[in-house]
Chain A
C-alpha cells in the first residue's frame, strides 16, 4: 500500500490520492504545441465548445420533447417554442449549433488536407476524425427526425430506403430499420434513443480517442516541419522559451485558442438571435404526413454534396457513387503517395488538386439544392463523375510530386 502522510492542504490531500499534479502536467502544462501555427489550429477547440453547447441545449430540450408521433410535433413547435420559458433559446442554439458545427468540421478537415496533417504518424488522427464525422452525420440525421415535420418524415423515408440497396430490394432490412412499413412510432422512438444516448456516447468516446491519437505525433505546424518535441520542450522548461519552437498547451496555447473561440461565439450568437431561420427548413413546420410528399425534397446544406452524388445517376450506379463518396475521405492517408508533409501551395500539382476538390464540392452543394430537372441533372452527372475521377487520380497526382527537403 502506498504511503500516505497527513495532508498539508486540500491540494496535497487530492495529490496524494489522485496524483493531480502529474495528470495536469501530462494533459496540459507539459503537453506541447508548436508556435508556428495560425487561427485554423483553433477549430478543434471551437468544435469542442460547440459540442458542449449542443449537449447543454439538448439536455433542456429533452425535458419537454415527447418522442411520440402524436405529440412530437406539438411538443417542439408549441410547448418548447411558446410555453417553456426560454425554450426557444435552447431550440435555436441546438439548431444553429447543429448546422454550424458542420461548417467548422469542414474547415477543420480541409485544414488537415491542406497542411498534410494526415500522414507520417498522423494517420490515426485523420481516421478517428473521419469516424467522428460519420457519427456526427448520424447525430444530425437522427436529430432531424425528432420534430416530426414533413421534412423529418420524408428525409427519414428516403434515407432509410437507401438501405434497400437498389436492385437488391432489401425491403425486409428497410422495414427492420424502421420498425414498420413506413416511418412510425417505433421509428421515432429508436431514432430518439440513438440521438440522445447511443450516438452521443459514441461521439464522446471518439473525441477522447481523437485526442489520444494526437498524443504521440503532436499537432502539425504551418510548414509541416518535423519538430523534435523532446529537445524543444527541454529548451522551454530550462527557461529558453524564446528560442524554443513549442509552447505549453495550458495556458499558452489555450490563451490563443480562446481568442478565436471568442470571435466564433460572437458569430454564433449573432446567428442564434438574428438568423436562426437558416437552420430551420420552412417545410418542416408542416406536421409529418405520409400521404403527401413535399414537392421538393433536399437535405440540410452540409449533406447536399453527397446527395448530389446519389441523385443524378440511375438507381444502382447512384448508390455505388454515394457509397464511394461516403468512405473515400477516410482512405486519404493511403491514397496520398507523396512523402511530403507540407502546405498544399508548396506541393505543385497537389495544390491544384486541393482547390479543384473544394470547387467541385461547392458546385455539388449548389446543384444538390436545385430541383432534379432538365439541365441540372446533366450538370450533376458530370460534376459527380468528376468528383470520383478526382479521388481516383490522387495516387497518381501525389506519385508525380517531387519530394521536397524538410524545411528549416
Chain B
C-alpha cells in the first residue's frame, strides 16, 4: 500500500508541476496580449518641424494624446534656463496641460502668457507659474533636437540636463 501511495504522490506532483508551468506560460502570454500594440508604441514619438514656426505664435502638436506647446520666443522675451535653443532661436517646449488639475491653458500673445480657464492659473512664456493655484511649471516632455526638427518622446543630454537641474519633473 505504502509503495502505491508514493507512486500516487509522484503522479500528483508531476501533474501539478507541469500544470503550474503551463499556467505560468499562459499568464505570460496573457500579460503580453494586454501590452500596448506596436502601432500605439510607435505613436509614442512625435516629430515636429521647427523651421515653420513664427515668433510669438503658439504651435500645438499632439504627443501620446496630450497637447505639446511650441512657442518660438521673440528677442524681447528674457532668457530663461528652461528654454530650448535650436540654431539661433529660443523655444519653449512643454506639455500643454495645467499642472493643477489637468486643464489645457490658452495662450495670449499680447500679454505673452498662458491662462488656464478652469481655476485661473497663469504661466509666463517660459511656462513658469505667475499666478496660483498651479503647483509646478508646465512640464517639459523628453525631447531631442535633430537639426531643425525636434523629436518629442526621446530623451537627450539637453533634456537630461534640464531634468537634473530640477527645471521639470
CA–CA, A290 and B43, complex, Å: 15
CA distance A295 to B66 in the complex (A): 17
- Contact of A293 (CB < 8 Å), options: B35, B65, B102: B102
Instruction: Indicate if the CB atoms of A179 and B118 lie closer than 8 Å.
Output: no
Task: Enumerate chain A residues within 8 angstroms of B119, measured Cβ to Cβ.
Answer: 373
Does B150 make an interface contact (CB < 8 A)?
no
Contact B104 A176 (CB under 8 A): no
Q: Say yes or no for A106: interface residue by CB 8 A criterion.
A: no
Would you call B118 and A181 a contact (CB within 8 A)? no
A126–B40 alpha-carbon span in the complex (Å): 43
Contact of B103 among A176, A178, A186, A293 (CB under 8 A): A293
Q: Size of chain A's interface in residues, with CB distance under 8 A?
A: 19
Q: Are B64 and A291 in contact (CB under 8 A)?
A: no
Query: A186 to B43, alpha carbons, bound, how many Å?
Result: 14
Distance A290 CA – B40 CA, assembled complex (angstroms): 15
Instruction: Decide yes or no whether A190 CB sits under 8 A from chain B.
Output: yes
Q: Contacts of B102 on A, CB cut-off 8 Å?
A: 293
Does the CB pair B34–A181 fall under 8 Å? no
Contacts of B34 in A (CB 8 A): 176-177, 179, 190
Chain A proximity of B151: nearest CB distance (Å): 16
Contact with B along A173-187 (1 / 0, CB 8 A): 001111111101010
In this complex, what residue of A is CB-closest to B40? A180
Chain A residues in 8 Å Cβ range of B16: none
Question: Is B85 engaged at the interface, CB distance under 8 Å to the other chain?
Answer: no
Q: Is there an interface contact between B40 and A184, defined as CB atoms closer than 8 Å?
A: yes
The contact of A179 among B40, B44, B67, B101, by CB within 8 Å, is B40
Q: Which residues of A contact B (CB under 8 A)?
A: 175-182, 184, 186, 190, 290-293, 295, 297, 372-373
With contacts A181-B40, A182-B64, A293-B101 known, what are 13 further pairs, Cβ within 8 A?
Answer: A175-B36, A176-B34, A179-B34, A180-B65, A182-B66, A190-B34, A291-B62, A291-B66, A291-B104, A293-B97, A293-B102, A293-B104, A295-B103
A/B interface sample: 28 pairs, CB < 8 A? A175-B36, A176-B31, A176-B34, A176-B36, A177-B34, A178-B36, A179-B34, A179-B35, A179-B37, A179-B40, A180-B36, A180-B65, A181-B40, A181-B43, A181-B44, A181-B64, A182-B65, A182-B66, A184-B40, A186-B40, A290-B65, A290-B66, A291-B62, A293-B97, A293-B101, A293-B104, A295-B118, A372-B101
Residues of B within 8 A of A (CB): 31, 34-37, 40, 43-44, 62, 64-67, 97, 101-104, 117-119
Q: Which 4 A-B pairs have the closest CB atoms?
A: A182-B65, A181-B64, A290-B65, A180-B40
